[in-house]
Structures are given as C-alpha cells and as structure tokens.
Amino acid sequence: MDLIERYLKAVGAQLPAAGREDILAELRDLLMSRVEEREAELGRPLTEAEVEALLREVGHPLTVAARYGAGPQHVVGPELYPWWMFGVKTALTVLVLITAVGAVARILFGQVEVGQAIGQAFAGLFESGLTVVGLATLAGFIIERQAKKPAFLTDWRAKDLGLFEVGVFSRRWWDALHEKSGGGTLAETDKALDASLPKMSPTAGALGSATGWGIFLLWWSGLLGLGFRPEDLGGELVRGEIDYGLLFAETVTLLYWPVLVFAAAQGLFHVLRALTGSPARLTAFGDVVFRGASLTLLGWIWLYSPFSSLIRVDSVGAFVERTETLVRTHDGVDTILMLIVAAAILGEVFALLGALKTLFVGR
C-alpha cells in the first residue's frame, strides 16, 4: 500500500502539527476500510490503478487536508461578497472618471494623439483595475478570518439596504435602458431610470465616499499605474509667454503633501461615518472641517500659488471687467481659470454654511 502511504504523507504535509497524527490515523482507517470493502466485492487484491481510482474518489490531498483545517475555505464568502462587490464597483467608477479626465486633458493640452491617449488610458485602467480588485480581495480575505465578524455584517439596519442597489449597477437601471431600446418614449425611460436610482443610505454613501477617496489617494500618491500623474493633467499649454502646463506642475508639486493628507483624512473620516451609522452631526462636523480645509487650499491658489498673478483680482469691478472681456474676445485662459477658482470658492462657502446649519440644528 505504498500509494496510500504516499497519499497520507501528502495530506499530512498540509496539516498543522497539532492533531496531525490523529487526523492521519483516522484517514488511514477510512482508506483501509474502503480498500477492504472493494477487495471483498472483487474477490481479489486491488491493482495499483484501482487504488489510484479509490484515492481520487476520496479527493486530492489539498482538498482533504482543507476539510480538517480551521477557518473559512474561501477568500470572500457569500455574506461579505455584496460589500466586496460594492467597493470594487465604486473604486472602478472613480478610476474610470480619473482616467477619462486625464485622457481628455492630455488630448486637449498635451502633445498626444487621440489614439495614443485612448490606448494608454485603457492600458492604465486595466492595470489599475487589477490592483483595485486585488486590494479589495486582500481586505476581504483578512475580514473573513477575523474571530469576530465586523459590525457592518451583523448590526445592519433596514434603511441601509439601498446600498445594494447602487445607481447604474442595479439591474433595474439596465432593464430601463432595455425597455427604451424596445420602443419606450424618452419620458417613460427617464421615469424608469429615476425609479431605478434609489437614494443611498448615509452608511452606503459613507462607504462609497471612503472608497472614492481611497482610490484618489492611491492615484495622487502614484501607487496606481494609470500612466499619468496629477501634474500631467496640465499638459503642454503655452499661450504667449506663459507656460500653463509648467505652472500647473509647479502647483501640484507644492500641493502634493497637503492634498495627500487631505485625501487620507477624508477617507478615514468616511470610514468612521460608516462604522457609526453616519449620524447627522458627525457628518456635518466633518463637512465643516473639510470645507474649511478646501477653502484654505483654494485661498492659497488664489493668493499665493504660481497661478496667483494670473487669476487674482482685487475688486469686484476688475472681476466683472475681465469676465466681459472673455465674453467679447472668447480668449483668455487666465480668466477662465479665475472663474473656475472663484466658482469653486463660492461653492465651498455655500456648502460650509449648509454644514454649519446642520451641525447646530442636527438635521
């Protein structure tokens, strides 16, 4: 029975030292019993090929050893899978958006052909997508092997179930598109699409935000292989004696660490929101802090960044005059940048006021 002993050695090599001998003794008895039963049926000793067939019926040594192992026999189990899938979908969506913005910027402002930019975008997206799926799977692997299940798996609430019907990833959204292709009117399709986009619960929104900020952080730090860095978005835009691409790269360099800290803090804060059920005042407090930080960064861009001399105006009259000139001449990259930064500042101010109201009122 050399084959059986060799089989047992292969199984034993995969077993922990504690209890190994007992398991092998039990397995040896099982195998010998099956051999004896088969020999009794045939009325003769089994051939080597028949012993091989019997061992294959029992299972491969890796599979058999796993039956006696502790812990789950899967990387991401069915209970955790919806959460894993949600994280992957959200992360891939953010990746697609970043890649699309980068490709468009390189086509418009850089010396890159359309076909080359698209090809590089797809290559970078594929590589980064694999990284995202790998990181999500690693996280699932670790969670599955915790002695205690995370609270989000056990202490869920009915109002958070919209998490699994996220936007365009839901079947209803695709069904609505299919109905349109079958002859539905545009109004009917819009109504069906609106119905297929349930409002995400605060916890679901927090998880989505945490995932999005995590992907942005990986990209900003250069850990995602998208084929372009943040400074590349400026391209090679030269107007007159001004190299806007160079100014953009210098600004990104100066903002590298502040934005890195800002994105990391945002991601951690949204994880905290998800773990605590995203209470209104906690969310509002975070919004106040982060809106204030955003205003600080935008204020720096307006007053002190390499772009400051191009976009800064000292009065409302000067702001209006530059805007009117842009409308008349349809030329003025610096004025366009001025309007973008001014609009961002105004948007952050209104968002900050809304967050302050929620913080004090509680809803």
Reference 159, options 196, 211, 202, 195; nearest CA is 202
Average pLDDT in the 149-161 region?
63
Q: In 3-state terms, what secondary structure has residue 321?
A: helix
What's the rounded Cα separation, in Å, for the pair 112 and 108? 8
pLDDT band per the 50, 70, 90 thresholds, residue 291? very high
Q: Give residue 196's pLDDT.
A: 43
Q: Could you state, in order of their start, the residue ranges of all structural domains in the chain?
A: 2-67, 77-232
Average pLDDT, whole number, for the chain? 80
358 with 284: CB under 8 angstroms? Answer: yes
Q: Which residue has the higher pLDDT, 311 or 76?
A: 311
Q: Give residue 108's pLDDT.
A: 65
Q: For 36-90, how does the pLDDT look when each residue is reduced to its tens digit (9 = 90+)?
A: 998 898 889 888 888 888 988 888 888 888 887 666 677 788 777 877 887 788 7
Q: Give residue 301's pLDDT.
A: 95
Locate 108 and state its tokens. 């418009």
Q: At what angle do helices 2-12 and 48-58 cross, to 10 degrees?
A: 30
Q: Give residue 197's pLDDT.
A: 44
Q: Give residue 152's pLDDT.
A: 64
262 with 286: CB under 8 angstroms? Answer: no
**Which residues contact residue 360 at a Cβ distance below 8 angstroms, ignoring those fewer than 6 apart?**
none
121 with 227: CB under 8 angstroms? Answer: yes
Q: Give residue 313's pLDDT.
A: 92
Locate 361 and state its tokens. 């009122």
Q: Which residue has the higher pLDDT, 312 or 153?
A: 312
Q: For 172-217, how does the pLDDT look when each residue is reduced to its tens digit (9 = 90+)?
A: 545 555 555 454 444 554 454 444 444 556 776 787 788 888 888 8
Of 16-20, 30-34, 323-327, the poorest mean pLDDT is in 16-20
pLDDT band per the 50, 70, 90 thresholds, residue 96? confident
Average pLDDT in the 120-126 region?
80
274 with 163: CB under 8 angstroms? Answer: no
User: Taking the chain, what is the end-to-end CA distance rounded to the nearest angstrom?
Assistant: 75
pTM for this model (two decimals): 0.59
State the burial class of residue 142 (Cβ atoms within 10 Å of its Cβ: 0-12, 13-18, 19+): exposed
Provide the residue type at 162 as one letter.
Answer: G
DSSP element (H, E) containing 238: strand 238-239
Q: For 230-264, how does the pLDDT look when each residue is reduced to its tens digit (9 = 90+)?
A: 766 656 667 778 888 788 889 988 999 999 999 99
Q: Percent of the chain scored above 70 by pLDDT?
A: 78
What's the rounded Cα separation, in Å, for the pair 300 and 257? 14
pLDDT band per the 50, 70, 90 thresholds, residue 327? confident
Phi, psi angles (nearest 5°) of residue 242: -105, 125
- How far CA 163 is from CA of 6, 53, 108, 171, 348, in Å, comes to 51, 49, 37, 14, 27
Average pLDDT in the 213-236 region?
73
Q: At what angle do helices 202-220 and 114-144 cross, to 10 degrees?
A: 120
Q: Is 167 left (phi over 0), alpha (psi -120 to 50) or beta?
A: left
152 with 99: CB under 8 angstroms? Answer: no
